[in-house]
Every structure is written in C-alpha cells, then in structure tokens.
Structure 1
C-alpha cells in the first residue's frame, strides 16, 4: 500500500511551518511509513488502523468491554472435550436419574399414592438406582479394574483405619437420633412446634384404630418405638441406604474430587482440546521440580489445595443428590404442605446433610458411617415429629431435623466437624 496522497510537487509555502510544499510532503510520507511499521509490530490482540489509531473493540452483550466472542466451533469443541473427559459422570447420572424416574412413573400416573405400602416398595427400589449407576460405570468404563479393587476405591471396605471407622459408626448410630431430639427441642423453643408429651395426641392420631388393639399405654409404646428406631431400624434401613450412599458418597464425591482410584486416567501427554500438550503437573511433579529443599513446602501447599477442593465437591454432590429426589419431592414428599416446592427446599437439606455424610466418608475412607447415619435419619426423623400436638401439627419444613431449625443445627455440626477434624481430597 502506497502513500494515499498524490506525490505531486508543489512550490507553495506552508504559512504555518514556513517550509516548501515538497518538504512538507516528504515529512508526511515519512510519518506515514513510521506508522505502518508500528502497526506491523503491534501485538495481534491490539488491532490498529493503518494510521496507527486503535480500533474500538467489539462489545459482547451482557459482558465486559473488550471480551471478544468465541466462535461456535471453539465452544462446541470445548463442550465435546468436557463431555468426553467426564463421560463416566454423565453415564452415572443418566442411569441414576433415568432409572429413578422410570420407577416413579406409577406415582405420576396415579396408580400409587404417597404413604401406601406400594409407595414404600417403590421408594426402596428408587434408592438402589445410584448403585446401578456405579455398576454401569464399572462395567462400561472401568472393566479392566478388578471388582475387589473397585469396591475398595468406592468405600465398601472399612477403610485404612478401622478404629476410626468404628468410632464414626458409633457416632452415626447414636449421634443422629440425638440431633433429632435436639432439633425437636429447639423447634419447640423457637415456636415452630408445640409439644404434647403428656397426651401424645399426634402419635395417637397416627395409630388410629390400631391403638385399641394394643394392650399398652401409648407412652410406653412410643418409648419402645424410639428404642427400635435407634438400635434396630438403622441396621435394617442400611440395606436401601447403601444403594444411595454407594453412589453419592462412595463414588460420585471422590470422582468430583479427582480421586485417582475412581477417575479415568488422562490421555497420554495430557493432550488438551486442541491436541496440544497442556503440561499440567500434579502436586508431586511440582514438589520434585521445586527441589529437595522445598519438598515439604510443596506437599503442604498441595494439601491446602486439596482441602480447598472439598467444599465445591460437597456442594455440587449435595445439589445433585437433592435433584435426584425430584420424582417424589415434586409430589410433595417430605414436605406435603409445599407441594412441588418441596423439591426446591429438599435440595437445601441435602446440601447440608450431604456435607456431614461427605465428611464421614472422607474422614474414614469408608462409606459405611454415611450409610448408618443416613439409615438412622430415615428411622428417627418422622418419629420425632410425633411428639407434636394433634391440634396444631408441626410443619416438617420448619420443625424437626429436616426443617429449617434442623438445617441450622446440622450446619453448626458440620462447621465444628470440619474445624476440629479437617479433611482433604484423596490423592
């Protein structure tokens, strides 16, 4: 590209500079050439006009000034890479969610109603769907891994420290009923529940006609049921609870944390989306590169990073766990007064309680403490609310361990547990 103005000779003088027109013309041409050289030397991310003035960068609607929109092909390539890298997670979610909705179809068609024996059977079958997802991942994506090794990686053993696992099992067995009792007392204290300890009106109303056939005082009968719910029911409920916990805390939580035992190995050379070696090194590679003198500091930093990864994984797994209950909670299960809004509220409970179960899983490297805690909650949550007054039944969305009061109590327990006994991602 040449000089844009005609290179004709002019003998007129410039009154501003006092130089001949030819000299002014040559100076302008030299400035133009210097501007072109500057344009060629500028970086690609700063496009300029031929005269050297900066262009106004395109503005992305809804985004900050200067962010250039990515092409559709780049976005599609990134999405495809994300799906391929997490194909096992998508397979697990497809099986767990798809099977649960399929089993819950009789509830949606009206063939089965909430609270009936048929509904209880459907609920037990639905609780097994996360385990089906784990088996599907093992059969299709990790078939070369022996099942004994797969079971150990997903927490079906008692973990490396059996004494710690035993202590957590006892804590789950007795601690969850204790939290349920404290939640009822706190609900009565804040006014979300009115107790009827003398008459047990709500308990009598639930028994109905069966109460006359039992030659026992209702208060004694309630105590017997509490003892059964604390000491016997958790072991019976552990069978269906294992169906959930093996999927959510046994496999999904370590997978979200990047546990090498359950995470598929990366492609050779850590090849990224564009086929370029990303060069990402693990914690051990970084420590080795830092030198022998910095090995301890590198391991400490890696441990701190693993600790920071725990909370996002706990929250994400809790949200997924809560959404998985949607086939039943959309029908008002657990919070009948809310209707379909029960599905939204139950996600919050699953995040908080799931954090406690996840802490047990990571602390023991075993899924069994979480199984017992889950089974114990299923046994005592509804029974504790039967201490309410039949004239003013408690709202499960506000009172009890599954209500807002219980959320606050569980959040305090989770905070104390992570504060006193912090856990980190597996390595």
Structure 2
C-alpha cells in the first residue's frame, strides 16, 4: 500500500479542520488564532500515527517486509525518535542547531540592514516600545536590559519551550516524509519536494496572510520559498543524524528567534518580512547558502528503497 496519500490526507485535512475556527471568527488576530496555530503543528504527527496504524508494514527506512505492523519501538527508531546510530553526533548536531539558528537569524538581520532593507533602532528600540504600548503595557526605564534578557531567553530557552509543538511537525515532515522522498528522488530533489509540501501545508493560515500580512492570500505561495530553504537545512540535520531531534531544536529555535527583529526595529520604518530577516528574501538566501554548503561538504546518505512511498515492496502488505 502506498502510505504517502494517507499521511498527507491526515496532515492536511486535520490542519484545515483545526484552522477552521480562525476563518469563522474573521481571520488572523481573532481569539482562536494562537490556539489553532499551535494545534496545527500536531497534525503531521497524527499523520505519522495514522500510517503506523494501517495494516501491514509502515514503511520505515530500516524496516523489514512482512504483513504485520512493526512494534512501535521499531517504528520510533525508523522515524527518528531515537538518537540514531551515533548518539554523539546527534547531540553535537542538536547543539549546532541550538546555536546555529540564532546565528543565521543574526546574519540575515545584519545583511538586511547592510542592504538598506531594514532600519534598526539599537538605542531607543522604538518598534518594541510601540508593541508594548499597543498591548497596554508600560515602557520600563531599563528597556535595553529588557531587550537583552528577551534575546538571551529566546536563544537559550526558546528551543526547549517550543520543543513539543515543533516535534509535532518534525516527526511528520523530517521524521517520516523526508527519508521517503529522498529515497525516491535523491537528496536534493527529495529535500526540495519535502519543503514544498511543508510550505503548502501552512495554507490554512498563510491564505489569511500569516507571516506576510501585506501579501494577503499570496502569502500561501510565498511562504513555500522559506519552507524549501529552511527544509533543506532541517532535512540535512535529520539525515545526517538519523534522528529527528536536531531538526526539532532548529524548528523550535526558528519560532523563538525570528521575532527578535521586532525588538531591534525602528518604528518609523518597520521591517518588511517579505524581504528582510530570516523569513524574507535575504533569509532565504542565507538558508540556501547554508543548505548548499552542508550538502556539499557533509553529504548525506540516500536511504534504501524500503523508505520510499513510491517503491515499497509489494510483499509488505497483504
């Protein structure tokens, strides 16, 4: 049985179900938005569980044939929930993701500023002041200290605080999907295709302008560019380690640190996320260069054919 359609149907279908309250309430900024956005992140994990619950072999990279579903501990290993064959390397890649993502964010912000695409206010932090006032909060006297603390917490604690919802996505996209697409299409094509799928999955929110408000519905297509560039890096972490945890940390860090530009921006010329920062064109370029360098100098192995949804052996299912 080709299990890819099942995984995609559950992941995409439930994402729309979870996001429906946002549409019914009137769009982004309404009370259901934050809850729906978090719940959506768990739908790929439910897609993986649906695949495992199907009769017959669930199609893991190291799985054997047969008509019986593998024990969950085997399926967990095959989908990256363990530390892989080399735990030491995996932990090193976790550390690399933890510190590397903030570095990529810093580079993208600095490059955006150098190109004149974003104005930084590193003395008054006027954009942050404006955000505090919009929330009805008072601007503290020691604003620079507050900004420093926020940045440090985002870098150090963000990946940990975001780990559970990030795992909800990463177990599906990088844990289950990436090895199968890479086995079928090769590393480059497989990683790019997985990024496209990941980006389109965000459509229930990005069609409403999520991440790129001024683009409106076109944000759904635009965000695919970021997902492809980031997905190559996340996918490399998964394939290089044999584990999903480095990608989980990278994803959690992205969610925590990309908003730093709001702390540093100038209220007179707010940053445009379409072009500036990690989620804009500048960030795409930074991520693309990083992904190309990783694949060039630290190549990943192509999983065996048993990992592919296109080539699963016919004897795997009754």
**Aligned counterparts, 1:281-320, within 5 A:** 309-320=186-197
Q: Which residue of 2 aligns with 1:106?
A: 21
1:6-405 maps to which residues of 2 (within 5 A)?
Answer: 85-86=1-2, 88-109=3-24, 111=25, 113-116=27-30, 118-141=32-55, 142=58, 144-208=69-133, 213=138, 215-258=140-183, 309-405=186-282
Deviations 1:258-310 (A, max 9, x none): 49xxxxxxxxxxxxxxxxxxxxxxxxxxxxxxxxxxxxxxxxxxxxxxxx711
Aligned length: 293
Give distance in 2, aligned partners of 1:129 and 1:344.
20
Alpha-carbon distance in structure 2 between the residues aligned to 1:152 and 1:404:
36
Are residues 204 and 312 of structure 1, via their aligned partners in 2, closer, same or farther at CA, if it must alter by over 3 Å? same
Q: What's the offset of the Cα at 1:389?
A: 0.9
Cα offset for 1:256? 1.9
Q: Is the 8 A contact 1:204 1:211 kept in 2?
A: no
Q: Is the Cα contact below 8 Å between 2:132 and 2:139 reproduced in 1?
A: no
Residue deviations 1:198-255 (CA, integer Å, cap 9, x gap): 1111011111166864654111111111111011121010100000000000001112
Asked if the contact 2:44/2:169 (under 8 Å) is kept, the reply is: yes
Structure 2: distance between partners of 1:157 and 1:236: 20
- Distance of 1:210 and 1:352 partners within structure 2: 33
Q: Which has the higher contact order (CA 8 A, sep 6+)?
A: 2
**Mind listing any 5+ residue stretches in structure 1 that lack a counterpart?**
1-84, 260-307
How far 1:386 sits from its partner (Å)? 3.0
C-alpha contact 1:130 1:246 (8 A) present in aligned 2: yes
CA distance 1:312–1:212, shift in 2 (3 Å): closer
Matches of 1:166 and 1:211 in 2, distance apart?
Answer: 42
* 1:384, distance to aligned residue in structure 2 (A): 2.4
The structure-2 alpha-carbon separation of the partners of 1:172 and 1:117, relative to structure 1 and needing over 3 Å to count, comes to farther
SS in 2 for 1:386: helix
Determine which structure has more spread, i.e. the larger CA radius of gyration: 1
SS in 2 for 1:426: coil
What is the rounded CA distance, in whole Å, between the counterparts of 1:255 and 1:356 in structure 2?
17
What is the rounded CA distance, in whole Å, between the counterparts of 1:158 and 1:216 in structure 2?
A: 46
How far did residue 420 of structure 1 move? 1.2
Q: Residues 332-380 of structure 1: CA distance to partner in whole angstroms, max 9, x if unpaired? A: 0001111111111100110110000000000000000000000000001
Deviates more, 1:319-328 or 1:100-109: 100-109
Instruction: Work out the CA distance in 1 between the residues paired with 2:111 and 2:45.
Output: 36
